[in-house]
Structure 1
């Protein structure tokens, strides 16, 4: 706690602010959420020690955002700061991560995402290829991500008149940008996230579509194809499609900065490079997206139909996760209302509490626009931000609220409920923005925009689904909004966006990130109980309450939770009441069409766009993906990202069932078994026998900083260790690859010809692996595991001790060391208290195998780490 008698507090890397008032409430957080905040948001001194507490961090953000209101004529900064602090610490609203990390610091960059223009110029133009690369690098150093449209770059192979060379083309420069960004640590904490866009009529579009077929290529970019209505109509009509670009030899081309359509309007000749069948090109996009989720699709015409400032620019690109369309140099300060903190009594919505949160959150985000330092070395950023004053208020915890209200995500009722909630938020965000315009002034570019009071073109949004249910929502009168704009204008050119909310949703305790459904109902947590490893099954709190209310006995509830752990869903459990199974769906239970329709229902009341992934089961076909694309376009979505389970990761959720399946696959590996063996020699007093079809073995497990690892040691006919299999993380991940490599090497050492008995060779292996340190350790004292190799050594040492016990004690029984024939495992002690979500790839921050592809991004379900 800061000294209340001090008027200001000065800490390393922080600007002085008044001390945290003693009477303000302290935030209530889970230990995991608190650790995430400390790792990600709490500022540190030069020696690495925290420069502030978690509560002081929230006060730093609240005060530094509130203090800009002095410029708006509000002298009572402390009152506003207290309101913001209570809003944040109640977890009813969180801004995006850069606001937490940048507020009150000399850097002061508070925005998560920017879009930068790229024009076909190598050095003269301020928007040229390498000038933009320089601007993007400066942004990424402050913690921001970037979006780019490469559509203005001339096609690959085009003759460059000034040098008589050939043009590199959009994909070539995309690779240049990708390599550069790979060397830049974003904000000192993570690599930069970026979006690359190319129009579907660009001559290089076919190369662009397949440029990420190899997942290890262009790793610092998400890519999306900019789709037009004309192209989608051509697909439906099975028509021909022209790949075109302005004539680069025309003198007007050198200074032209508009779109292809604008070039036509200005009389610049357009050259057709190639004609293709529209369906063939569409199918290439679909095939590649089915393969690994990329490219995504952006519906440019849908976005531009609601472009608030068409007199300034046409929208061509988005931020890295695709939810934020922006003009040149624009950014958007994002924030999300936590619907999980707006639960009413008896399965209702706390509408009044939600209204109050929306009002204050809108004010907060408008203050962020003012407080943001942007990047002084790129002055166009501040100019663009002040011109339109975009904000992006969104949601998180929609799935939590739907569980509470007993509504199935994806169902027709679920679509209506989501639409009603989002309409309520959009309405009160706009009403607040109008009031701010009255107090502070409308955004400067309002004249000529769709919100121009003298020529109002904006029309109230309409739901695409019928409203047939009464959820107790207060009345909404859009005529009040229309009249308010005519009278006062509006403060923010854009008001709503639904972002991924990776880290902030983890801290807020949401089960559902952003507008997504819950990913899984249950997971395993390992706890050390006096040296014994206990496996505790944790389930969705809402689900646990529901089955308790249903009168299911405690023993049966535990059995249900164990079944959920096996399958990752409750849909197969016939003992559950149908009403519970109907409501408690997870992402895999929802059809692709339901995902699309939920997105469209929300999109109707989001003036920008939203981050949403359309999940398909493992057996989905390319035709299924094509159908989803067409439906998304027809329903008015502004973009779509698909992910077919297994297309990037062999296992998305490792339940007990999938873990056993993987174990079986590991046992069937033939690479080691088929290795050539030298002719047997008289070694260690015994002839080495060929490997029989069946070998007895033992499986031990141990928790490591990279997750639980299963160590299987099989013995030959002489009772000596013969081979070792290591099973950790998921198939196809870096951790699994390292584990397999270590296992193969140990197996080779045990099987090679040598006068040293295999058990003694194993002793040397243990000696070599023991004590190797990694990025972090797990446990304390004798149970401390310093790394994956150290954990493997500890498991092997336990086997080594038990092997000697078996061979020196004539009465040793098989029960002393259970065999693995029936899947029985010997538990190794561990002091792990971290939740081990076995749902994805290795997390570079916490080390857990829980990074999944979702919402156009990759994020960790253990610690909240996000690549975007």
Structure 2
């Protein structure tokens, strides 16, 4: 690495190497290292994949750091900068933010100078500033399984050459975990088995999702085995709150579990097109009141109308607001007077017409996950033929004690109402809907809220090689979604 390049990075590499000696997992910077990446790729490498001094035992003035420069509860922004000063008493540091990251700063002085004060809790010191350091750590970690020192040395070099020449780039969790000596997963994404339809089963599923995400993995869940809303829960002489509410509970884990201090979790949650809660599921993430009103006014299906109305919230105008908007509209009828644009007048007319302001109920609902609908061949055939489609689920209300025992033991192993019926079990038709109505609902919501995605589950099972192992596709993980 040239002296000019070192100076451009504005980092004291001799001191950094002294710090690195305290961390046996990390390889020191050497003169031949040069791969830092650029722009977002550089930030992602430093933020997600590098080994860091998480306890900040070496943190001092002049250090290069990655930090949260904008602390927004929904959309925090990460960036890079240099420590100018540390106030240990208040646990804050003065940072000079690199110029390319200053655009997200709201404070005018911070944005112009790049100088900010931030809590030490949101500041991290990466010890690996070059991709070559990550590659060496990965190669050392992957070769550690070899039984002799000679073999470990041999395979460390082989792995390193493949990695450093970018012939092979591991998944992110491997880049982050291999050779780091941390208890994290080397797999990026997982798909869970079907969720058992019981409080205990849901709790176990939730626990596993939390454990996987805490170790860095993304998770895919198919909730089609959970009984629909208002279905009898005989054990407690009550009714189920429905699959969608339970899936929202699982999705909330994404906001709770922080993955190695580098990113929030990722989840994909799916529901089959035959599930009676499918309409509620599709509408649940719609954030656009106009589209909800459009659905109410244009659909022929009463269930779609109901769930769109349930999602929509109208805040009525106060008397003062009505007078204000009427005053604006009155300008339209007074020749020669200006002051309000056509857009402002049109907005006032709409407010008076609707009688208030529309928002959505539960705007945070299911936001911890991407959602997708598992589409079957039968549904797509019904769409093409413009015929009715049945929303169905095992008829648990009619099951006797023995049938419930079989349901509790086997339903989540099957996970498909079509297969369950073929096995001779009773199935209840909750609703018949024109397939095109449901198809249009999927497309409208996907167009205006980017969700739900679609997953052709029958096609996936027809083509998967998992059949050779006696397995089937249950869902996909966040990496495999189809939008």
- Band of TM-score, shorter chain: 0.5 to 0.7
Please list the CA deviations of residues 245-273 of structure 1 after superposition, one character each: whole Å capped at 9, or x if unmatched: 11222332111121323322322212111
Answer yes or no: is 1:114 the counterpart of 2:190: yes
Answer yes or no: is 1:317 the counterpart of 2:475: yes
2:437, 2:445 → 1: CA distance?
12
Number of residue pairs matched by the alignment: 310
1:265, 1:34 → 2: CA distance?
54
Alignment-derived partner of residue 134 in structure 2: 57
Q: Summarize the Cα distance change of 1:189–1:179 in structure 2 as closer, same or farther, 3 Å threshold.
A: same
Q: 2:248 aligns with which of 171, 175, 179?
A: 175
Q: Summarize the Cα distance change of 1:35–1:182 in structure 2 as closer, same or farther, 3 Å threshold.
A: closer
**SS of equivalent to 2:285:** coil
Q: Summarize the Cα distance change of 1:291–1:31 in structure 2 as closer, same or farther, 3 Å threshold.
A: closer
Alignment-derived partner of residue 480 in structure 1: none
Answer yes or no: is 1:38 the counterpart of 2:46: yes
Q: Summarize the Cα distance change of 1:10–1:28 in structure 2 as closer, same or farther, 3 Å threshold.
A: closer
Q: Summarize the Cα distance change of 1:100–1:11 in structure 2 as closer, same or farther, 3 Å threshold.
A: farther
Alignment-derived partner of residue 537 in structure 1: none
Report the CA distance between 1:276 and its aligned residue: 1.1
Q: 1:275 aligns with which of 432, 437, 448?
A: 432
Q: Summarize the Cα distance change of 1:259–1:101 in structure 2 as closer, same or farther, 3 Å threshold.
A: same
Does the aligned pair in 2 maintain the 1:20–1:59 contact within 8 Å?
Answer: no
Does the aligned pair in 2 maintain the 1:191–1:220 contact within 8 Å?
Answer: no
Answer yes or no: is 1:230 the counterpart of 2:387: no
Alignment-derived partner of residue 175 in structure 2: 100
Q: 1:210 aligns with which of 283, 288, 295?
A: 283
Structure number with greater CO (CA < 8 Å, separation at least 6) is 2
Alignment-derived partner of residue 85 in structure 1: 160
Question: 1:297-446 counterparts in 2 under 5 A?
Answer: 297-310=454-467, 311-323=469-481
Which stretches in structure 2 are left out of the alignment for 5+ residues?
A: 2-12, 15-19, 57-123, 288-362
Does the aligned pair in 1 maintain the 2:268–2:476 contact within 8 Å?
Answer: yes
**SS of equivalent to 1:109:** coil
Does the aligned pair in 2 maintain the 1:114–1:319 contact within 8 Å?
Answer: yes
**SS of equivalent to 1:197:** strand
Q: 1:220 aligns with which of 368, 380, 385?
A: 368
**SS of equivalent to 2:433:** strand
Does the aligned pair in 2 maintain the 1:225–1:297 contact within 8 Å?
Answer: yes
Alignment-derived partner of residue 202 in structure 2: 129
Report the CA distance between 1:314 and its aligned residue: 2.2
Q: Summarize the Cα distance change of 1:82–1:119 in structure 2 as closer, same or farther, 3 Å threshold.
A: same
Alignment-derived partner of residue 35 in structure 2: 28
Report the CA distance between 1:81 and its aligned residue: 2.1
2:125, 2:432 → 1: CA distance?
62
Q: Summarize the Cα distance change of 1:122–1:78 in structure 2 as closer, same or farther, 3 Å threshold.
A: same
Report the CA distance between 1:299 and its aligned residue: 0.2
Q: 1:259 aligns with which of 389, 403, 415?
A: 415
2:473, 2:424 → 1: CA distance?
21
Q: 1:162 aligns with which of 232, 235, 244?
A: 235
Alignment-derived partner of residue 76 in structure 1: 151
Alignment-derived partner of residue 292 in structure 1: 449
**SS of equivalent to 1:294:** coil
Alignment-derived partner of residue 245 in structure 1: 393
1:80, 1:44 → 2: CA distance?
25
2:37, 2:217 → 1: CA distance?
28
Report the CA distance between 1:133 and its aligned residue: 0.8
Report the CA distance between 1:116 and its aligned residue: 1.6
Does the aligned pair in 2 maintain the 1:146–1:195 contact within 8 Å?
Answer: yes
2:221, 2:365 → 1: CA distance?
18
Q: Summarize the Cα distance change of 1:74–1:285 in structure 2 as closer, same or farther, 3 Å threshold.
A: farther
**SS of equivalent to 1:321:** helix
Report the CA distance between 1:27 and its aligned residue: 4.3
Report the CA distance between 1:298 and its aligned residue: 0.1
Q: Summarize the Cα distance change of 1:74–1:114 in structure 2 as closer, same or farther, 3 Å threshold.
A: farther
Please list the CA deviations of residues 307-365 of structure 1 after superposition, one character each: whole Å capped at 9, or x if unmatched: 22225332121111325xxxxxxxxxxxxxxxxxxxxxxxxxxxxxxxxxxxxxxxxxx
Alignment-derived partner of residue 430 in structure 1: none
Please identify which structure carries the higher helix content: 2
Please list the CA deviations of residues 182-202 of structure 1 after superposition, one character each: whole Å capped at 9, or x if unmatched: 222233222211111000001
Does the aligned pair in 1 maintain the 2:276–2:430 contact within 8 Å?
Answer: yes
Measured on the aligned residues, the alpha-carbon RMSD in Å equals: 2.8
Report the CA distance between 1:41 and its aligned residue: 2.0
Please list the CA deviations of residues 685-719 of structure 1 after superposition, one character each: whole Å capped at 9, or x if unmatched: xxxxxxxxxxxxxxxxxxxxxxxxxxxxxxxxxxx
Does the aligned pair in 2 maintain the 1:226–1:316 contact within 8 Å?
Answer: no
Does the aligned pair in 2 maintain the 1:145–1:319 contact within 8 Å?
Answer: yes
Report the CA distance between 1:221 and its aligned residue: 0.7
Does the aligned pair in 1 maintain the 2:254–2:264 contact within 8 Å?
Answer: yes
Does the aligned pair in 1 maintain the 2:267–2:477 contact within 8 Å?
Answer: yes
Alignment-derived partner of residue 489 in structure 1: none
Does the aligned pair in 2 maintain the 1:238–1:278 contact within 8 Å?
Answer: yes
Does the aligned pair in 1 maintain the 2:188–2:217 contact within 8 Å?
Answer: yes
Does the aligned pair in 2 maintain the 1:245–1:270 contact within 8 Å?
Answer: yes
Which stretches in structure 1 are left out of the alignment for 5+ residues?
A: 4-8, 324-639, 642-868
Report the CA distance between 1:181 and its aligned residue: 2.8
- TM-score of the two chains, using structure 1 as the length reference: 0.34
Q: Summarize the Cα distance change of 1:265–1:27 in structure 2 as closer, same or farther, 3 Å threshold.
A: farther
Report the CA distance between 1:291 and its aligned residue: 1.4
Does the aligned pair in 2 maintain the 1:203–1:243 contact within 8 Å?
Answer: yes
Does the aligned pair in 2 maintain the 1:247–1:253 contact within 8 Å?
Answer: no
Q: Summarize the Cα distance change of 1:56–1:119 in structure 2 as closer, same or farther, 3 Å threshold.
A: same
Does the aligned pair in 2 maintain the 1:11–1:51 contact within 8 Å?
Answer: no
Report the CA distance between 1:21 and its aligned residue: 11
Report the CA distance between 1:278 and its aligned residue: 1.1
Answer yes or no: is 1:150 the counterpart of 2:158: no
Please list the CA deviations of residues 464-502 of structure 1 after superposition, one character each: whole Å capped at 9, or x if unmatched: xxxxxxxxxxxxxxxxxxxxxxxxxxxxxxxxxxxxxxx
Please list the CA deviations of residues 580-601 of structure 1 after superposition, one character each: whole Å capped at 9, or x if unmatched: xxxxxxxxxxxxxxxxxxxxxx
**SS of equivalent to 1:263:** helix
Please list the CA deviations of residues 56-92 of structure 1 after superposition, one character each: whole Å capped at 9, or x if unmatched: 2220012212333x26x99623233223222222233
1:287, 1:185 → 2: CA distance?
33
Answer yes or no: is 1:67 the counterpart of 2:75: no
